[in-house]
Every structure is written in C-alpha cells, then in structure tokens.
Amino acid sequence: MARVVVDVMLKPEILDPQGQAVQRALPRLGFDGISDVRQGKRFELEIDGPVDDAALDRVRKLAETFLANTVIEDFTVKVES
C-alpha cells in the first residue's frame, strides 16, 4: 500500500479570497514578512497494489475529472515515500 498525494490549488490568475483573508490577518496577529498566501486542497490517497505508471495515470485521471476543477484549478500528483 502506498500513498499518493494530490495537491489542488487555484490557478495563479484566479482570485483566492481564502488566501487573502489569511494574508490580511497576519500583521494583526504579529506575523510580518509574508507577501502572499494561497490556500488549496490536499488529498492523500491510499493505493492498493503497486504505484506504477498505470496507477499514477489513473490517479491523474481521477484528479482531473473529480478532485480538481481544471477551469480554475491546477493539480499535482506525487508519490509520498
């Protein structure tokens, strides 16, 4: 059993109100020197069997069709060691 991580983030050109809310709150909370915050989603998938190219292709297809809205979001698929 292996873990594959799918990170889904809004595309850079899409406004991110959640990230902006965090960023604006930081100086008030005493944290300076952070110029931008983007907030996204992280999915940890436990895969049965070997994580070969076919399995990763399936996860990529799954991310593209179901986990991410590719009109406004980018995703990355990584195997976690």
The footprint of a copy of itself (CB under 8 A) covers 1, 7-9, 19, 22, 25-26, 29, 31, 33-49, 55, 58, 61-62, 65-67
Whole-number Å distance between alpha carbons of 24 and 32: 10
For a copy of itself, which is the closer residue by CB, 12 or 71? 12
Whole-number Å distance between alpha carbons of 2 and 52: 11
Shortest distance, position 14 Cβ to a copy of itself, whole Å: 13
Whole-number Å distance between alpha carbons of 43 and 68: 10
Shortest distance, position 3 Cβ to a copy of itself, whole Å: 9
Report which residue type is found at 33.
Answer: G
